[in-house]
Amino acid sequence: MNLGKTNSKKVLAVFEKRKKNEQVDEVVVIAADYWTDALANAGENQISYQLGKGMINLSEKDLIKFKKNFISFISKIFSQHRDIMLWTSDGKHFEKIGTDGYLAAIMKSSNLPLTCLPSDVCMRMTDEEIVIENNLEQEIIYTALKRVK
């Protein structure tokens, strides 16, 4: 087979660079979606309501700000610690126990009161899964194999 005369050419190839922590980013966004939805739909499970102080209604702007701050804050923490626990107490024990420090910091940077959080929720995040415990029932909302919800 005769290919004839060939010329040497320089070629520039463009490859899509994948983020090293793409799965971590996905876990953080799914967790942010969960907490944002929980804030928006807390209803009678809102800590403020359980404390007898009435319902705190959040605007769409408040929820967007919360989600943005959640992603920013948790991404920094999660890049160093691949096992994070986020939790809230119920209204009955809120004055004594409160909530975890991560959620408190996120709420402070979002200018939102802690009492607008849903009560008695616990989330464990790893880079492999997200597990929610609510009313003593565990639910996996994310696994590394697939998104559950």
**pLDDT tens digits for 1-16?**
555 555 555 555 454 4
| pLDDT of res. 147 | 53
| Measured distance CA(47)–CA(120) in Å, rounded | 9
**pLDDT tens digits for 20-44?**
456 668 899 999 999 999 999 999 9
Full-model pTM: 0.79
- DSSP characters over 113-149: -GGGSBSSEEEEEESSEEEEEETTEEEEEEESS-B--
Taking 3-state DSSP, the helix, strand and coil percentages for the chain, each rounded to the nearest 5, stand at 40, 20, 40
Residue with tokens 């320089």: 10
| Average pLDDT estimate for 64-87 | 91
Interacting residues of 77 by C-beta distance below 8 A, sequence separation 6+: 84, 102
| Average pLDDT estimate for 69-75 | 94
Tell me whether residue 6 is exposed, middle or buried, using C-beta atoms within 10 angstroms of its C-beta: 0 to 12, 13 to 18, 19 or more. Answer: exposed
